[in-house]
Chains A and B, each alone.
Chain A
Amino acid sequence: MNIFTVILVVIGAIFMIVAAIYAISRKDLLVATIATSIISLVLSVFFFILQAPDVALTEATIGVALTTIIFVVTIRNTKRHEEEEE
Protein backbone atom coordinates (compact mmCIF):
# COMPACT_ATOMS: atom_id res chain seq x y z
CA MET A 1 0.00 0.00 0.00
CA ASN A 2 1.73 3.16 -1.11
CA ILE A 3 1.35 6.63 0.33
CA PHE A 4 -1.20 7.71 -2.27
CA THR A 5 -3.57 4.89 -1.29
CA VAL A 6 -3.21 5.75 2.38
CA ILE A 7 -4.11 9.38 1.73
CA LEU A 8 -7.09 8.27 -0.37
CA VAL A 9 -8.31 5.95 2.38
CA VAL A 10 -7.99 8.63 5.05
CA ILE A 11 -9.86 11.20 2.96
CA GLY A 12 -12.54 8.63 2.13
CA ALA A 13 -12.98 7.64 5.76
CA ILE A 14 -13.37 11.27 6.84
CA PHE A 15 -15.87 11.76 4.01
CA MET A 16 -17.86 8.73 5.13
CA ILE A 17 -18.02 9.88 8.75
CA VAL A 18 -19.08 13.38 7.73
CA ALA A 19 -21.75 11.97 5.41
CA ALA A 20 -23.06 9.66 8.14
CA ILE A 21 -23.33 12.48 10.68
CA TYR A 22 -24.96 14.67 8.04
CA ALA A 23 -27.46 11.91 7.21
CA ILE A 24 -28.65 11.45 10.77
CA SER A 25 -28.67 15.14 11.66
CA ARG A 26 -30.62 16.45 8.67
CA LYS A 27 -34.40 16.61 8.82
CA ASP A 28 -34.84 16.40 5.07
CA LEU A 29 -35.10 12.70 4.30
CA LEU A 30 -34.12 13.10 0.65
CA VAL A 31 -30.80 14.71 1.57
CA ALA A 32 -30.22 11.99 4.15
CA THR A 33 -30.79 9.32 1.49
CA ILE A 34 -28.28 10.92 -0.85
CA ALA A 35 -25.74 11.10 2.00
CA THR A 36 -26.30 7.38 2.68
CA SER A 37 -25.61 6.60 -0.95
CA ILE A 38 -22.38 8.61 -0.75
CA ILE A 39 -21.33 6.37 2.16
CA SER A 40 -21.99 3.32 -0.01
CA LEU A 41 -20.00 4.81 -2.89
CA VAL A 42 -16.90 5.44 -0.75
CA LEU A 43 -17.34 2.01 0.83
CA SER A 44 -17.29 0.35 -2.60
CA VAL A 45 -14.01 2.13 -3.39
CA PHE A 46 -12.66 0.79 -0.08
CA PHE A 47 -13.68 -2.74 -1.01
CA PHE A 48 -11.86 -2.33 -4.30
CA ILE A 49 -8.71 -1.13 -2.52
CA LEU A 50 -8.95 -4.12 -0.18
CA GLN A 51 -8.90 -6.42 -3.25
CA ALA A 52 -12.51 -7.56 -3.03
CA PRO A 53 -13.86 -6.48 -6.44
CA ASP A 54 -16.89 -8.78 -6.23
CA VAL A 55 -18.10 -7.12 -3.05
CA ALA A 56 -17.23 -3.71 -4.51
CA LEU A 57 -19.49 -4.37 -7.52
CA THR A 58 -22.32 -5.52 -5.28
CA GLU A 59 -21.98 -2.50 -3.00
CA ALA A 60 -21.82 -0.10 -5.93
CA THR A 61 -24.90 -1.48 -7.69
CA ILE A 62 -27.13 -2.28 -4.74
CA GLY A 63 -26.01 0.30 -2.21
CA VAL A 64 -25.59 3.26 -4.50
CA ALA A 65 -28.22 2.70 -7.16
CA LEU A 66 -31.01 0.42 -6.09
CA THR A 67 -31.45 1.21 -2.39
CA THR A 68 -31.31 4.95 -3.06
CA ILE A 69 -33.96 4.68 -5.76
CA ILE A 70 -36.28 2.63 -3.57
CA PHE A 71 -35.87 5.10 -0.70
CA VAL A 72 -36.47 8.08 -2.99
CA VAL A 73 -39.63 6.53 -4.44
CA THR A 74 -40.88 5.69 -0.96
CA ILE A 75 -40.19 9.20 0.34
CA ARG A 76 -42.02 10.72 -2.61
CA ASN A 77 -45.04 8.48 -2.10
CA THR A 78 -45.37 9.14 1.62
CA LYS A 79 -46.22 12.27 3.54
CA ARG A 80 -44.75 13.78 6.63
CA HIS A 81 -47.11 14.55 9.44
CA GLU A 82 -45.19 17.25 11.27
CA GLU A 83 -45.05 20.92 10.55
CA GLU A 84 -42.32 22.31 8.35
CA GLU A 85 -39.75 24.28 10.31
CA GLU A 86 -38.74 27.63 8.99
Chain B
Amino acid sequence: MKRIITILLLGVTGYFVADAVFSIPFGVDKLNIAKEYLLNSPEELKVANTVTAVVVNFRGFDTLGEVTVLFLAATGLGSILFRRRKYHTGLNPQREAPQASRIVQVGGKLLFPLILLLGAYVFIHGHLTPGGGFQGGVIIATGYLLLLVSFRKFAVKHSSLTWVEAVAGVTFAGIGLTGLVFGKDFLENFLPTGVLNSLLSGGIVGIIYVAVGFKVASELTGILDTMLSIKVEVDEENEEN
Protein backbone atom coordinates (compact mmCIF):
# COMPACT_ATOMS: atom_id res chain seq x y z
CA MET B 1 0.00 0.00 0.00
CA LYS B 2 2.75 2.38 1.02
CA ARG B 3 4.70 1.54 -2.11
CA ILE B 4 1.71 2.27 -4.34
CA ILE B 5 1.20 5.67 -2.69
CA THR B 6 4.90 6.45 -3.12
CA ILE B 7 4.85 5.53 -6.80
CA LEU B 8 1.66 7.57 -7.31
CA LEU B 9 3.18 10.60 -5.57
CA LEU B 10 6.39 10.30 -7.57
CA GLY B 11 4.41 10.03 -10.78
CA VAL B 12 2.37 13.15 -10.05
CA THR B 13 5.49 15.12 -9.06
CA GLY B 14 7.36 13.89 -12.13
CA TYR B 15 4.48 14.87 -14.40
CA PHE B 16 4.40 18.43 -13.14
CA VAL B 17 8.19 18.78 -13.20
CA ALA B 18 8.31 17.49 -16.78
CA ASP B 19 5.46 19.81 -17.73
CA ALA B 20 7.30 22.80 -16.28
CA VAL B 21 10.56 21.82 -17.97
CA PHE B 22 8.96 21.32 -21.39
CA SER B 23 7.03 24.59 -21.23
CA ILE B 24 10.29 26.58 -21.04
CA PRO B 25 11.03 27.92 -24.52
CA PHE B 26 14.33 26.47 -25.67
CA GLY B 27 16.86 28.58 -27.52
CA VAL B 28 15.03 31.86 -26.94
CA ASP B 29 16.98 34.69 -25.36
CA LYS B 30 15.00 35.86 -22.37
CA LEU B 31 17.72 37.35 -20.17
CA ASN B 32 16.68 40.97 -20.37
CA ILE B 33 18.21 42.01 -17.03
CA ALA B 34 21.60 40.50 -17.90
CA LYS B 35 21.59 42.32 -21.24
CA GLU B 36 20.77 45.54 -19.45
CA TYR B 37 23.67 45.06 -17.03
CA LEU B 38 26.13 44.18 -19.78
CA LEU B 39 25.21 47.26 -21.81
CA ASN B 40 24.81 49.72 -18.97
CA SER B 41 27.73 49.08 -16.67
CA PRO B 42 30.53 50.16 -19.06
CA GLU B 43 28.45 52.96 -20.55
CA GLU B 44 26.93 54.70 -17.55
CA LEU B 45 28.92 53.56 -14.53
CA LYS B 46 32.29 53.33 -16.32
CA VAL B 47 33.02 50.04 -14.59
CA ALA B 48 35.08 47.78 -16.84
CA ASN B 49 34.41 44.59 -14.88
CA THR B 50 30.70 43.88 -15.16
CA VAL B 51 30.75 41.33 -12.33
CA THR B 52 31.95 44.02 -9.94
CA ALA B 53 29.32 46.44 -11.22
CA VAL B 54 26.59 43.90 -10.50
CA VAL B 55 27.98 42.85 -7.12
CA VAL B 56 28.70 46.31 -5.75
CA ASN B 57 26.32 48.66 -7.53
CA PHE B 58 23.23 46.92 -8.88
CA ARG B 59 23.18 44.35 -6.09
CA GLY B 60 25.08 46.39 -3.51
CA PHE B 61 22.52 45.79 -0.81
CA ASP B 62 23.07 42.02 -1.07
CA THR B 63 26.80 42.56 -0.68
CA LEU B 64 26.13 44.56 2.49
CA GLY B 65 24.12 41.60 3.73
CA GLU B 66 26.94 39.18 2.92
CA VAL B 67 29.45 41.35 4.76
CA THR B 68 27.09 41.43 7.73
CA VAL B 69 26.81 37.63 7.68
CA LEU B 70 30.59 37.31 7.68
CA PHE B 71 30.82 39.79 10.56
CA LEU B 72 28.26 37.82 12.56
CA ALA B 73 30.13 34.57 11.89
CA ALA B 74 33.40 36.07 13.07
CA THR B 75 31.75 37.53 16.15
CA GLY B 76 30.03 34.26 16.98
CA LEU B 77 33.24 32.26 16.64
CA GLY B 78 35.12 34.77 18.76
CA SER B 79 32.51 34.71 21.50
CA ILE B 80 32.31 30.91 21.55
CA LEU B 81 36.07 30.47 21.69
CA PHE B 82 36.72 33.50 23.92
CA ARG B 83 37.10 31.58 27.16
CA ARG B 84 39.46 29.06 25.65
CA ARG B 85 41.78 31.68 24.26
CA LYS B 86 45.16 32.08 25.82
CA TYR B 87 45.22 35.80 25.41
CA HIS B 88 48.10 38.28 25.50
CA THR B 89 49.95 35.92 23.20
CA GLY B 90 48.48 34.43 20.08
CA LEU B 91 50.15 31.11 20.45
CA ASN B 92 48.61 27.77 20.95
CA PRO B 93 50.04 25.77 23.84
CA GLN B 94 50.48 22.84 21.49
CA ARG B 95 52.52 24.95 19.15
CA GLU B 96 55.29 25.22 21.74
CA ALA B 97 56.71 21.80 21.00
CA PRO B 98 57.67 21.89 17.30
CA GLN B 99 59.25 25.12 16.16
CA ALA B 100 58.72 25.87 12.49
CA SER B 101 61.83 25.16 10.46
CA ARG B 102 64.17 27.88 9.24
CA ILE B 103 63.05 27.38 5.64
CA VAL B 104 59.41 28.00 6.57
CA GLN B 105 60.36 31.09 8.59
CA VAL B 106 62.51 32.69 5.88
CA GLY B 107 59.96 31.80 3.21
CA GLY B 108 57.14 33.29 5.23
CA LYS B 109 59.11 36.50 5.83
CA LEU B 110 59.90 36.79 2.12
CA LEU B 111 56.41 35.97 0.87
CA PHE B 112 54.39 38.02 3.36
CA PRO B 113 54.85 41.48 1.75
CA LEU B 114 54.30 40.01 -1.72
CA ILE B 115 51.05 38.34 -0.66
CA LEU B 116 49.92 41.59 0.98
CA LEU B 117 50.70 43.45 -2.24
CA LEU B 118 48.77 40.93 -4.33
CA GLY B 119 45.76 41.16 -2.04
CA ALA B 120 45.79 44.96 -2.09
CA TYR B 121 46.12 44.91 -5.88
CA VAL B 122 43.19 42.55 -6.24
CA PHE B 123 40.81 44.69 -4.20
CA ILE B 124 42.01 48.11 -5.39
CA HIS B 125 41.66 47.04 -9.04
CA GLY B 126 38.38 45.23 -8.38
CA HIS B 127 36.47 47.36 -10.87
CA LEU B 128 39.06 46.85 -13.64
CA THR B 129 40.33 43.27 -13.36
CA PRO B 130 38.82 40.05 -12.02
CA GLY B 131 38.64 39.87 -8.29
CA GLY B 132 37.50 42.26 -5.67
CA GLY B 133 37.04 42.89 -2.00
CA PHE B 134 36.33 39.34 -0.89
CA GLN B 135 39.12 37.74 -2.86
CA GLY B 136 41.69 40.37 -1.89
CA GLY B 137 40.69 40.17 1.75
CA VAL B 138 41.07 36.40 1.79
CA ILE B 139 44.49 36.67 0.12
CA ILE B 140 45.65 39.12 2.81
CA ALA B 141 44.33 36.83 5.55
CA THR B 142 46.32 33.99 3.97
CA GLY B 143 49.47 36.11 4.25
CA TYR B 144 48.84 36.68 7.94
CA LEU B 145 48.20 32.96 8.32
CA LEU B 146 51.67 32.28 6.90
CA LEU B 147 53.21 34.44 9.63
CA LEU B 148 51.01 32.87 12.31
CA VAL B 149 52.12 29.40 11.27
CA SER B 150 55.81 30.14 10.90
CA PHE B 151 56.46 32.33 13.95
CA ARG B 152 55.33 31.10 17.33
CA LYS B 153 55.46 34.51 18.94
CA PHE B 154 53.61 36.34 16.19
CA ALA B 155 50.21 37.55 17.32
CA VAL B 156 47.72 39.96 15.87
CA LYS B 157 46.14 42.64 18.00
CA HIS B 158 42.43 42.02 18.14
CA SER B 159 41.66 45.56 19.25
CA SER B 160 43.16 47.10 16.10
CA LEU B 161 41.48 44.42 13.95
CA THR B 162 38.16 45.42 15.46
CA TRP B 163 38.87 49.06 14.68
CA VAL B 164 39.72 48.37 11.04
CA GLU B 165 36.61 46.21 10.70
CA ALA B 166 34.36 48.84 12.28
CA VAL B 167 35.72 51.70 10.16
CA ALA B 168 35.37 49.65 6.96
CA GLY B 169 31.81 48.60 7.80
CA VAL B 170 30.79 52.15 8.68
CA THR B 171 32.35 53.36 5.41
CA PHE B 172 30.25 50.91 3.40
CA ALA B 173 27.01 51.79 5.16
CA GLY B 174 27.86 55.51 5.17
CA ILE B 175 28.43 55.55 1.39
CA GLY B 176 25.08 53.85 0.97
CA LEU B 177 23.35 56.43 3.14
CA THR B 178 25.11 59.29 1.34
CA GLY B 179 23.66 57.95 -1.90
CA LEU B 180 20.27 58.12 -0.22
CA VAL B 181 20.93 61.78 0.63
CA PHE B 182 22.21 62.93 -2.77
CA GLY B 183 20.18 60.64 -4.99
CA LYS B 184 17.06 58.70 -4.39
CA ASP B 185 18.25 55.15 -3.68
CA PHE B 186 20.40 53.42 -1.11
CA LEU B 187 23.93 52.92 -2.53
CA GLU B 188 23.25 55.17 -5.49
CA ASN B 189 26.31 56.55 -7.23
CA PHE B 190 26.93 60.17 -6.31
CA LEU B 191 30.58 60.58 -7.34
CA PRO B 192 31.84 61.48 -10.82
CA THR B 193 32.32 58.28 -12.79
CA GLY B 194 35.59 59.20 -14.50
CA VAL B 195 37.09 57.57 -17.58
CA LEU B 196 36.49 53.92 -18.43
CA ASN B 197 39.44 51.60 -17.73
CA SER B 198 41.27 54.01 -15.43
CA LEU B 199 41.91 53.47 -11.74
CA LEU B 200 39.76 56.40 -10.61
CA SER B 201 36.58 55.32 -12.34
CA GLY B 202 33.27 53.83 -11.40
CA GLY B 203 32.40 56.32 -8.69
CA ILE B 204 31.61 54.61 -5.40
CA VAL B 205 32.40 51.08 -6.62
CA GLY B 206 36.16 51.33 -5.99
CA ILE B 207 35.76 52.87 -2.53
CA ILE B 208 33.25 50.23 -1.45
CA TYR B 209 35.49 47.41 -2.64
CA VAL B 210 38.48 48.78 -0.74
CA ALA B 211 36.29 48.94 2.39
CA VAL B 212 35.06 45.38 1.81
CA GLY B 213 38.65 44.21 1.32
CA PHE B 214 39.81 45.67 4.63
CA LYS B 215 36.75 44.28 6.40
CA VAL B 216 37.11 40.75 5.06
CA ALA B 217 40.87 40.71 5.69
CA SER B 218 40.54 41.82 9.32
CA GLU B 219 37.65 39.46 10.04
CA LEU B 220 39.33 36.39 8.57
CA THR B 221 42.66 37.20 10.23
CA GLY B 222 40.80 37.45 13.53
CA ILE B 223 39.10 34.11 12.92
CA LEU B 224 42.40 32.39 12.06
CA ASP B 225 44.20 33.87 15.06
CA THR B 226 41.35 32.85 17.36
CA MET B 227 41.33 29.32 16.00
CA LEU B 228 45.10 28.94 16.24
CA SER B 229 45.28 30.26 19.80
CA ILE B 230 42.60 28.22 21.53
CA LYS B 231 43.64 26.14 24.45
CA VAL B 232 43.05 22.45 23.91
CA GLU B 233 41.46 20.74 26.86
CA VAL B 234 43.31 17.49 27.32
CA ASP B 235 41.20 14.73 28.73
CA GLU B 236 43.21 12.98 31.43
CA GLU B 237 41.79 9.50 30.92
CA ASN B 238 42.27 9.51 27.19
CA GLU B 239 45.79 10.85 27.53
CA GLU B 240 46.96 7.85 29.55
CA ASN B 241 45.82 5.31 27.01
Q: List, in ascending order, chain B residues with CB within 8 A of A58's CB.
A: 134-135, 138
Give the number of residues in B that approach A within 8 Å (Cβ atoms).
24
Query: Is A77 a contact of B141 with CB atoms below 8 Å?
Result: no
Query: Is B227 a contact of A70 with CB atoms below 8 Å?
Result: yes
Q: List, in ascending order, chain A residues with CB within 8 A of B145's CB.
A: 65, 69
Tally inter-chain residue pairs, CB-CB below 8 A.
42
Query: Is B230 a contact of A61 with CB atoms below 8 Å?
Result: no
**Interface hits, A38-86 → B, CB 8 Å:** 53-54, 56-58, 61-62, 65-66, 69-70, 73-74, 76-77, 79
Among B122, B130, B220, B228, point to the contact of A66 (Cβ < 8 A). B220
Among B134, B141, B227, point to the contact of A73 (Cβ < 8 A). B227
Query: Is A65 a contact of B138 with CB atoms below 8 Å?
Result: yes
Q: How far is the CB of A18 from chain B (nearest CB, A)?
A: 27
Q: How far is the CA of A32 from the CA of B126 in the complex (A)?
A: 34
Query: Is B51 a contact of A54 with CB atoms below 8 Å?
Result: yes
**Interface hits, B111-134 → A, CB 8 Å:** 122, 130-132, 134
- Residue B238, interface by CB 8 Å: yes
Q: List, in ascending order, chain A residues with CB within 8 A of B131's CB.
A: 53-54, 57
Query: Is B142 a contact of A61 with CB atoms below 8 Å?
Result: yes
